[in-house]
Amino acid sequence: MGRHRGRYAEEPPSRDRRRRGRGGAFAALAAAMVIVIGLAVAGVYMFGQSDGCRGSDVELDVAAAPEIAPALNDVASDFNAEEQQVDGSCVRVSVRAVDSANVAFGITGAGATMGDTDSDVWVPDSSVWSQLVQTQSGDAVITETGTSVARSPLVLAELAEFAQGSGEDVRWSDVIPTAAPSEDAGRTVRVVDPARSSTGLGTLHLLQGALEEASPDTDTFNAYMTAALQSLHQGASSDEEAAFLALSGGDAEAPPVMVMSEQAVWRYNAEHDDAAAQARYLEGGTYYLDYPYVVRSEESEITRAADLFREAVRSPGAVERYLADGFRGSDGEIDTSVLTEEVGFREEEPSELPAPSGEAVTDLTRTWNQLKMESRVLTIVDVSGSMLAEVPGTGMTRMQVTTAAATEGLQMFTPTAELGVWQFSTNVNNNLHYQEIAPVRELQATDESGTAHRDVIGGALARLQPLPQGDTALYDTYLAAYQEMSRTYQPDRTNVILMLTDGDNDNPGGLELEQLLSEIDGISSASRPIPIITIAFGPDVQNLEPLQQIAAATGGAAYMTEDPTEIGEIFLQAFSLRIAEEDEGES
């Protein structure tokens, strides 16, 4: 440029020439400006084409467990601002809060769902859901990436004002009953319904492991497990909102002990600062919610976008966001200003027990649902003359011990269970050997006087009196009961006949065993099972084999004991048939 100006200075232009030059310069400048502006616009466009987003965005839909969705939304906002790309198109992440069971059942069809279950990425609260999907829907597109977004161990939670020894570890046997329920039972232990909650499923898994260690044999385990599940059923909350209400004492009952994740306890305390909960840890380890990052697409563009976002959810900034919401990081770290020692949280990571497999989850869910399905039980009580005999060491007759055990057994059933009672001997009802003393009805139903059916049954049992000259028309009563329960069969319930007797069949001229079995075979149906469970007690029972044959024919069980005071525990063994893999009651 300097050379050009020097050369042009050697011959100064004339005035007219300068005037014309000035006008030409303006024209040239205008032209140059047009070019510059054009180039600038083109440059911006070209820059955008080479380094920015072009074309339509790649939309990545993420369905996340409701408690972690807020943190993931923040991570997604930061991620979207960075304009990360796949093939030059920006990835735009949107996060929706969706119940984990809702998504799992939407894929498998194994349970009720509210819809809205499709997504590209799924972050359920636990790997049990993705494993369940893989077990029940082998053709489902589920890719487990091995990334745990955050973690939260299961703990016990109870209101701080009721907590006792909250700094000490507790065992499952300390908090969940493993004996027949009674009216003076301690505080209720509650879980969220395991059929829709990984916390509830985790509780069952932990419970199963603890009881297997504590049980010397399969029968004992089944009895313990049945008692524990019965207890949990009676205290199960339908969802987390109901669980929070129960924990706060808002359901007008004594505040229970709840099984929750650490993060759920933190959320509860954030919402209930006037009724804070204390966290307690389980001895021997616990189960973790692990919030896995699961990809549900095989499209190349989507899977690459999902991988980009997966890197974002593992970033240090993202982890800080999870910790601020009461989670632990994938390495167990916590924010001690969030999970505070004041309400029992511990910085030390609790030891972790293995999570249940997909098959184990299926079995646990089936077990829970089998016991969850309401019972419909016809209980038949022997009132023959031998029931007047005294039980050594009790000061009570067999009749008194039996009715006390049956009354205690009532506590095993929920208010919506259906129960009825017959008495039997010989000729107790004109020419009939059996008599209904309480119809089969829901325990919560009321009669014309407003008395609950549970109390009606309790009163009927208390009024039972043995017939001094009565014999034991056992087989005739079995058949009459089987006919009645078959006639009134309810397919949405577990239909059971429970016989309590202290003697063998003793009814000359009545049904013989072969006749009874033949009659039952003609009535029974595999699709309408009615197991007969017999509890025989006392020294007058000489031969259990006929009762075993009846049990085998109906899918039931036969038990014998010389001590009627053991009936309560045998109740548990009898109803443990509902969780046994085989008919273990025929003994």
Q: In degrees rounded to 5, what are phi and psi of residue 150?
A: -155, 175
Asked whether the predicted pLDDT for residue 334 surpasses 90, the reply is yes
Q: Between residues 213 and 184, which one has the greater pLDDT?
A: 213
Total residues belonging to the chain: 587
CA–CA separation, 498 and 502 (whole Å): 13
Task: Indicate where the chain has its CATH 3.40.190.10 domain(s).
Answer: 58-151+290-339, 154-289
Query: DSSP label at 433?
Result: E
Looking at residues 458-465, what average pLDDT do you find? 93
CATH class belonging to 373-578: alpha beta
- In this structure, what token pair is assigned to residue 559? 């038990």
Torsion of Cα atoms, 40 then 43 then 44 then 49, to 10°: 170
- Is domain 154-289 classified as CATH 3.40.190.10? yes
Question: Which of these ranges, 43-57, 313-327, 390-404, has the smallest mean pLDDT?
Answer: 43-57
Residue 41 has pLDDT above 80, yes or no: no
Cβ neighbours for 393, distance < 8 A, ≥ 6 positions apart: none
Distance CA 564, CA 130 (A): 48
CA-closest candidate to residue 263, choices 355, 315, 362, 339? 339
Binning pLDDT at 50, 70 and 90, where does residue 96 land? very high
- The answer to which of 15-24, 300-309, 483-492 has the lowest mean pLDDT is 15-24
How many other β-carbons are positioned within 10 Å of the β-carbon of residue 27? 10
Residue 313: its H or E element? helix 300-313
Q: How far apart are CA 60 and CA 95, in angstroms?
A: 9
User: How many CA atoms lie less than 13 Å away from 417 in the CB half-sphere?
Assistant: 25
Q: How far apart are CA 519 and CA 524, in angstroms?
A: 9
Q: Three-state SS for 348?
A: coil
Q: Is 70 exceeded by the pLDDT of residue 244?
A: yes
Comparing 164-178, 307-321, 339-353, which segment has the lowest mean pLDDT? 164-178
Q: What distances in angstroms separate CA 455 from CA 88, 464, 546, one per listed residue?
A: 74, 14, 34
CATH number 3.40.190.10 is the correct assignment for the domain at 58-151+290-339: yes
Tell me what pLDDT residue 368 has: 83
Sheet holding 494-501, edge to edge: 432-442, 418-429, 375-382, 494-501, 532-537, 557-561
What phi, psi does 367 have (nearest 5°)?
Answer: -60, -45
Report the candidate in 179, 43, 228, 214 with the shortest Cα–Cα distance to residue 571: 179
Residues of the chain with CATH 3.40.50.410: 373-578
> Per 3-state DSSP, what percentage of the chain is helix, strand, and coil (rounded to 5)?
45, 20, 35
Q: How far apart are CA 47 and CA 358, in angstroms?
A: 51
Mean pLDDT calculated for residue range 396-423:
87
**Structure confidence at residue 2 as a pLDDT band (50, 70, 90):** very low
Instruction: Give residue-wise pLDDT tens across range 23-35.
Output: 444 344 344 434 3
Return the H-helix or E-strand segment holding 260.
strand 257-261
Query: According to the model, what pLDDT value does residue 576 have?
Result: 63
Alpha helices by DSSP H, listed for 52-99, are 69-81
Which residue is it, tokens 């209980």?
379
pLDDT at 455: 95
Q: Report whether 348 contacts 328 (CB < 8 A).
A: no
**Greater confidence, 105 or 4?**
105
What single-letter amino acid sits at 184? D
pTM of the model as a whole: 0.69
What distance separates the 2 farthest-apart alpha carbons in the chain? 151
Question: Which is nearest to 483 in space by CA: 541, 554, 417?
Answer: 554
Which of 176-180, 349-353, 487-491 has the lowest average pLDDT? 176-180
Q: What DSSP designation does 323 have?
A: H
Query: At 169, is the pLDDT very low, low, confident or very high (cuts 50, 70, 90)?
Result: low
